Structure 1
Amino acid sequence: MGDKAQQAGAAGRALTVDRPTSIRNVVLVGHSGAGKTTLVEALALTSGAVNRAGRVEDGTSVSDYDETEHRQQRSVQLSLVPVEWDGIKINILDTPGYADFVGELRAGLRAADAALFVVSAAEGADGLAGATRTVWDECEAVGMPRAIVVTHLEASRADYAQMATVCGELFGADDPDAVLPLYLPLYGPPGPDGHRPVAGLLGLLSQRVYDYTSGSRVERDPDAAELAVITQARSRLIEGIIAESEDETLMDRYLGGEDVDVTTLVDDLERAVARGTFHPVLMAAPTTNGGRQGLGTVELLELITGGFPTPLEHPAPAVTTPAGAARPAVDCDPDGPLVAEVVKTSSDPYVGRVSLVRVFSGTLRPDETVHVSGHGLTDPGHEEQHDLHEADERVGTLSAPFGKQQRPLGRVIAGDIACVAKLTRAETGDTLSAKDSPLLMEPWSMPDPLLPVAIEAHSKADEDKLGQGLARLVAEDPTMRLEQNPHTHQIVLWCLGEAHRDVALERLRTRYGVQVDPVPHKVSLRETFGAPAAGRGRHVKQSGGHGQYAICEIDVEPLPPGSGIEFVDKVVGGSVPRQFIPSVEKGVRTQAAKGVAAGYPLVDVRITLRDGKAHSVDSSDAAFQTAGALALREAAAEARIHLLEPVAELTVMIPDGHVGPVMSDLAGRRGRVIGTEQVGSGRTLVRAEIPEIEIDRYAVDLRSVSHGTGRFSRTYLRHEPMPPQLADKIREQAEKGT
């Protein structure tokens, strides 16, 4: 194995391949703190991509964070680390583990052909967050091959056997024999605290011992005790592999006593892994004694290169013309028509916009002109965030990222992933294709951002740059939605959670030079009359020359919800001249838009003009507008005004074990549960009607109540009267100007 590391260790050059069979695209999945980034560094070290200090030749690390990640002290974005092993280029896509950045995870899943789930041996069953199981189910639904690697073996409380069992029970619920370990830990002598560190691996198929005590992988025969441990677990693994074999006679032959050779078992294992029907459990730990090879990293690289599928085995997403006409599926052929997709967009202070692109068909070359087709990734009705744009653009430099370096590439063939500079119009989710034959790839699903964050510019200088900064922010992040609320006149960023919000505001400040201040988010309240009322508006002024004279009397009565403002003219005898009746209506509607109690728009009333007075000289359009507004305000002063709050239909998807806490939480928010139903195995859908003012932070609170396993959606239903005590509180705040 040392020769492979030397072969792969031609650090400092971009990894170029000539055929898709020499590529593996792997996405790392796991909750925050599981050890994904440490694993990437260990794989880079073992493959020779970095030196023993974990550094590339410019001294930076493959996992160097950007400025925002340093402040957040967590990974917040998808990163690509290409390494080489045994002549195979492995594109490792490291994803954030925090739930707020699931958009980066989805992008990684889109670009990859297989997933490596990273779990911590130090956390037991608690280390498998509900979100991790959700992603496993998503991969299973599309048949994506998966393997599991257990990390943190060096921790004193690590228990590999327990974690392997938990993985089998959780991920192999339908078929426990489809999730089994390929290796068992070889424990070293106990330390002063009694903890026995993992010093190597016991190969169940090869029946060999791989000792990492020296910092390098040393292979030897097992002793009697080690062989007994191997033999005990080996039979179940062999049966699990044979159960997925294409040779239907192999199981009967094995059970009949035939000894199946290791080569056949390895071939069947690799085919089963590539098909996504068998999911091996491996382990990995950092290097020891200054060695290059971390424990289990060689075995993991061998599984990736030998068992994970090539891009040829991964069907590409469906394609259409930009107009929506169906087109045949594209093949992973470097000589085929160009079809590539932008899976991530970011800004570099020196290069400008950089697009991470997966090529599904054809070959992408620098300086060629491509067609960019964009449909956005937001839900219908939010297309303003990502226009249905069409543009021809010239491709800039192609490069492979490595730490903070960008290593130039001469081309990117079908199946490969690379960075493309200066695609100024391309956004995340856009398709790149030949300019004379434009195509559009089927979009992937993104979660709907449901945490509203109202913002305002910190200064006049920031206000001038705010629009451009926000536009660039949402172009990079399809999980963020920008809203200019016409009712509250607020600028609202809809985010996935508080960490997502913090990163967005930090990027506005550091990348785009825009300082913003969060302000309380307002919901769109309304006002209406609770009972009929009458009002008289008198606007009479004399100040030399023409005066102002207008008097009008109105009746106001409530209407059913959704009726809006209805104006009726019942003036008789010409007490209000015909030319001034539209003026009264304009004044009434203007005042209704401003509100009559707490400053919220008045709705669902009929306003009837029944009488008034005019002056032959001093009456005017402006005077009757003012009189109409005064009449409505007087009617409101004598009437009972209801504040109406928006009510949403909330649908919450949760595991059965969390139904009770979620329903109790909804009841405490003035929610009305209108029904529950079973959806699939072990999950319940709860439907409720709830005031929108009560779910401003529900994206955060549901995560806490359901331990990260719940999802929800919200749809506006109607406005309905707010409880009097809450309405009084809001009126008091309005009077104080808060």
Structure 2
Amino acid sequence: MGATSHQAGAAGRALTADRPSSVRNVVLVGHSGAGKTTLVEALALTAGAVNRAGRVEDGGTVSDYDEIEHRRQRSVQLSLVPVEWAGIKINILDTPGYADFVGELRAGLRAADAALFVVSAADGIDGATRMVWEECEAVGMPRAIVVTHVEAARSDYSETAAACGEAFGAEDPDAVVPLYLPLYGARGPDGHAPVTGLIGLLSRRVYDYSSGERAERDPDPAELALIDGARSRLIEGIIAESEDESLMDRYLGGEDIDVKTLIDDLERAVARGTFHPVLMAAPAADGARQGLGTVELLELITGGFPTPEERAPVTVTAPDGSPRPAVTCDPAGPLLAEVVKTSSDPYVGRVSLVRVFSGTLRPEETVHVSGHGLADRGHEDHDVDERVGALTSPFGKQQRTLGTCIAGDLACVAKLTRAETGDTLSAKDSPLLMEPWAMPDPLLPLAIEAHSKADDDKLSQGLARLVAEDPTMRLEQNPHTHQLVLWSLGEAHQDVALERLRTRYGVQVDPVPHKVSLRETFGAKATGRGRHVKQSGGHGQFAICEIEVEPLPPGSGIEFVDKVVGGAVPRQFIPSVEKGVRAQAARGIAAGYPLVDVRIILRDGKAHSVDSSDAAFQTAGALALREAAADTPIHLLEPVAELDVQVPDAYVGPVMSDLAGRRGRVVGTEQAGAGRTRVRAEIPEIEIGRYAVELRSVSHGTGRFSRAYARHEPMPPHLADKVREQAEKGNQLT
């Protein structure tokens, strides 16, 4: 923004902050492949945190250093890269761009005070990025846009900047405006002219990066003409956000507003979240010390993004829910911190990335850990005291020791064995609890089994550690199908989870077909006679019972009625008949699924004074129920879910067509905000096992949904026949 640059090397030492005003926390947001990680490394190079090869001392990169990320060539987790510029510590939070890892993105948004949206000039803006912009807009988070891949042959910065204005400036088009124009070099044989520098619209200066170092000069006449053509819109946008109401009148009256005044107003508007400048950046060429636009971007972050002190006070309660005063960013205030990420190190153990909102966190002190509880995902409420281990600042694979971590800063904390992602750290004598941030529900199931007996012994502990790290993952022991099910956000999320189980925790699992909880019921009244008579020397077995079965309304379960007269079945054996009937009902009578919604009436029977027993009447009861089912239509009942789908208006038609093809019944539609529609439907659960993946395809990544069990209802006969055929072969429908 200004005409000068500041550089401060930080290689080889931990960056510390002595006051909140010297900290900036910024999260990078953008789709996979937009260039976020490359941008982080370019900023680290310009700030002097890495060498010219973009490496830290151990030879690794500052981001995407996880082995899984190396193999996949994709970010799969939140990473923190601290750098220093002009005496300001900048905590850069690099987030995955793939939708499966949106939980990591939400953690980054929670920890940051401003967001930098990374848009590729070669690929444009995807729907998921627009959705995140709207989320940030709803809470007033300050935002700026940086256009990457401007060096690509097919890129067009001007078109991309205009697209950013259309996509992100719906409420106020003049609030999303470029700060710089590209400076083009000579055209090559292919006709492509590379971007070699920036033309500052406010400063009326040219910043030439063609030598690998930022060089500043006056514009030539042609460049000056470009500046004058674009500068007016930028100034008008800044003045519209100015707190000085006289500024617009002065500008329209022909006064040349001082550049410092404009920059000050610009930075205040950016910090308030009402103005969103567009910049550009590119990585440094081989051997170069600075990447294109990185100096300008660092200047914007340090000068325009808010300090932690400018963040609104944090609402807190006591762990029991009783209210407590809101907490401000004060290093001398009560301790309040939050675990935004949990990971495991094979040598150090559990490591927690923590954002401190108030107070000062010190190593070796005892803190209170309050868990908000996500019981449905395997995270129970907990309130315990724990001793903090070492505080460190991450940089690539390295961990640099910190003496303290003050309010507004981030640090890694070792040895918090009970703390999980989303937990609150506070003073042990004054425990506090922060409201958890919104996390998407994991809606893609994966049934798993231990690969071997050795894996089975370690499975429980490995899975517990896995879900402790990732609150977007849910572990379920299904009581109906008896399967162990890992619920995730998508296929890549599943794959990474299984890889972490194997590589970090030494647990190998095998995916198995996921089963749904089908049920069986009688389609009409029926009778059955169970006769269990055996004689083989000594005491024999003798029990006969006659039952009548009649269907009941859905949700009735199983009702057992005793209508025996004259003592045909002795009173002591009537519970035995009921026990045998219920055991057979649980095992199923047609395809191996539990029997429900019937009334079973015991009408008659016979007993022997010596040979009748509890076991004999249990067996007779089971036989009677099976005989009743033999000549009666048995309906298979499938679970039906209530589905709530939210998509942009443009995708309502494709979504409804897709639901119809899955035997879904649309029960209503309604507006769900500007340009979005909520579609409510009822659909068999068998049809939506992979809906988390398939909706993403239908809606181009812009749809989301929730599901809830509604009821069981009869399955169509042709599908029921298929289930019975599979049951006869020893399989169950998945």
> TM-score, normalization: structure 2?
0.98
Among 387, 390, 405, the alignment partner of 1:412 is 405
The residue type equivalent to 1:605 in the other structure is: V
The residue type equivalent to 2:271 in the other structure is: A
Residue 317 of structure 1: how far off its partner (Å)? 3.0
Among 339, 358, 361, the alignment partner of 2:355 is 358
The residue type equivalent to 1:684 in the other structure is: T
State the partner residue of 1:103: 103
Q: How does 1:556-635 map to 2 (within 5 A)?
A: 556-635=549-628
Aligned equivalents of 2:377, 2:422: Cα separation in 1: 15
Residue 56 of structure 1: how far off its partner (Å)? 1.3
Contact 1:5 1:48 (C-alpha < 8 Å) held by counterparts: no
State the partner residue of 2:630: 637
* SS in structure 2 at match of 1:329: strand
The residue type equivalent to 2:209 in the other structure is: Y
Q: Does 1:686 align with 2:682?
A: no
State the partner residue of 2:284: 287
Residue 384 of structure 1: how far off its partner (Å)? 6.1
* SS in structure 2 at match of 1:134: helix
State the partner residue of 2:38: 38
Contact 2:64 2:74 (C-alpha < 8 Å) held by counterparts: no
Among 223, 230, 239, the alignment partner of 1:226 is 223
State the partner residue of 2:714: 721
Aligned equivalents of 2:686, 2:253: Cα separation in 1: 68
Aligned equivalents of 1:151, 1:383: Cα separation in 2: 40
Q: How does 1:634-713 map to 2 (within 5 A)?
A: 634-713=627-706
Residue 73 of structure 1: how far off its partner (Å)? 2.3
The residue type equivalent to 1:221 in the other structure is: D
State the partner residue of 1:441: 434
Residue 69 of structure 1: how far off its partner (Å)? 1.6
* SS in structure 1 at match of 2:92: strand
* SS in structure 2 at match of 1:49: coil
Aligned equivalents of 2:291, 2:158: Cα separation in 1: 20
State the partner residue of 2:513: 520
Among 544, 552, 576, the alignment partner of 1:551 is 544
Contact 1:537 1:632 (C-alpha < 8 Å) held by counterparts: yes
The residue type equivalent to 2:205 in the other structure is: R
Q: How does 1:111-510 map to 2 (within 5 A)?
A: 111-123=111-123, 127-288=124-285, 290-376=287-373, 378=374, 382-383=375-376, 385-510=378-503
Unaligned runs of 5+ in 2: none
The residue type equivalent to 2:475 in the other structure is: L
* SS in structure 2 at match of 1:327: strand
Aligned equivalents of 1:4, 1:260: Cα separation in 2: 23
The residue type equivalent to 1:623 in the other structure is: A
Contact 1:214 1:288 (C-alpha < 8 Å) held by counterparts: no
Moved over 6 A (4+): 1-4
Residue 370 of structure 1: how far off its partner (Å)? 0.6
* SS in structure 1 at match of 2:104: helix
The residue type equivalent to 2:158 in the other structure is: A
Residue 288 of structure 1: how far off its partner (Å)? 2.5
Q: In percent, how many aligned pairs have the same letter?
A: 84
Residue 235 of structure 1: how far off its partner (Å)? 0.3
* SS in structure 2 at match of 1:328: strand
The residue type equivalent to 1:209 in the other structure is: V
Q: Deviations for 1:565-598, whole angstroms, at most 9, x for unmatched residues?
A: 0111111111111111110000000000000000
Contact 2:23 2:90 (C-alpha < 8 Å) held by counterparts: yes
Residue 358 of structure 1: how far off its partner (Å)? 0.2
Q: Deviations for 1:106-125, whole angstroms, at most 9, x for unmatched residues?
A: 000000000000000012xx
Residue 182 of structure 1: how far off its partner (Å)? 0.1
Aligned pair count reads 730
* SS in structure 2 at match of 1:219: strand
* SS in structure 2 at match of 1:511: helix
Residue 64 of structure 1: how far off its partner (Å)? 4.2
> TM-score, normalization: structure 1?
0.98
Unaligned runs of 5+ in 1: none
Q: Deviations for 1:164-188, whole angstroms, at most 9, x for unmatched residues?
A: 0000001001110000000000000
The residue type equivalent to 2:233 in the other structure is: R
Q: Deviations for 1:273-330, whole angstroms, at most 9, x for unmatched residues?
A: 0000000000001113521110000000000000000000012431110111111111
Residue 498 of structure 1: how far off its partner (Å)? 0.4
Aligned equivalents of 1:293, 1:384: Cα separation in 2: 45
Aligned equivalents of 1:480, 1:315: Cα separation in 2: 30
Q: Deviations for 1:501-556, whole angstroms, at most 9, x for unmatched residues?
A: 00111111111111001111111100000001111100000111000000111110
Contact 2:667 2:682 (C-alpha < 8 Å) held by counterparts: yes
Aligned equivalents of 2:670, 2:424: Cα separation in 1: 39
Aligned equivalents of 2:34, 2:55: Cα separation in 1: 22
* SS in structure 2 at match of 1:267: helix
Aligned equivalents of 1:221, 1:173: Cα separation in 2: 35
Contact 1:214 1:289 (C-alpha < 8 Å) held by counterparts: no
Q: Does 1:25 align with 2:25?
A: yes
Contact 1:23 1:310 (C-alpha < 8 Å) held by counterparts: yes
Aligned equivalents of 1:507, 1:682: Cα separation in 2: 39
The residue type equivalent to 1:375 in the other structure is: H
Aligned equivalents of 2:5, 2:254: Cα separation in 1: 37
Aligned equivalents of 1:78, 1:198: Cα separation in 2: 31
* SS in structure 1 at match of 2:144: strand
- The alpha-carbon distance between structure 1 residues 551 and 603, as it changes in their structure 2 partners (threshold 3 A), is same
The residue type equivalent to 2:104 in the other structure is: E
Aligned equivalents of 1:155, 1:4: Cα separation in 2: 26
The residue type equivalent to 1:94 in the other structure is: D
State the partner residue of 1:91: 91
Residue 3 of structure 1: how far off its partner (Å)? 9.8
The residue type equivalent to 2:101 in the other structure is: F
Residue 58 of structure 1: how far off its partner (Å)? 2.2
- The alpha-carbon distance between structure 1 residues 556 and 289, as it changes in their structure 2 partners (threshold 3 A), is closer
The residue type equivalent to 1:59 in the other structure is: G
- Pick which of 481-490 and 310-319 moved more: 310-319
Residue 65 of structure 1: how far off its partner (Å)? 2.4
The residue type equivalent to 1:222 in the other structure is: P
Aligned equivalents of 1:3, 1:56: Cα separation in 2: 27
- Pick which of 658-667 and 675-684 moved more: 675-684
Residue 422 of structure 1: how far off its partner (Å)? 0.6
Q: Does 1:71 align with 2:68?
A: no
Residue 694 of structure 1: how far off its partner (Å)? 0.3
Residue 4 of structure 1: how far off its partner (Å)? 6.2
* SS in structure 1 at match of 2:326: coil
Aligned equivalents of 2:68, 2:464: Cα separation in 1: 19
* SS in structure 1 at match of 2:505: coil
Contact 1:317 1:442 (C-alpha < 8 Å) held by counterparts: no
- The alpha-carbon distance between structure 1 residues 383 and 672, as it changes in their structure 2 partners (threshold 3 A), is closer
Contact 1:495 1:501 (C-alpha < 8 Å) held by counterparts: yes
Contact 1:65 1:75 (C-alpha < 8 Å) held by counterparts: no
Residue 636 of structure 1: how far off its partner (Å)? 0.6
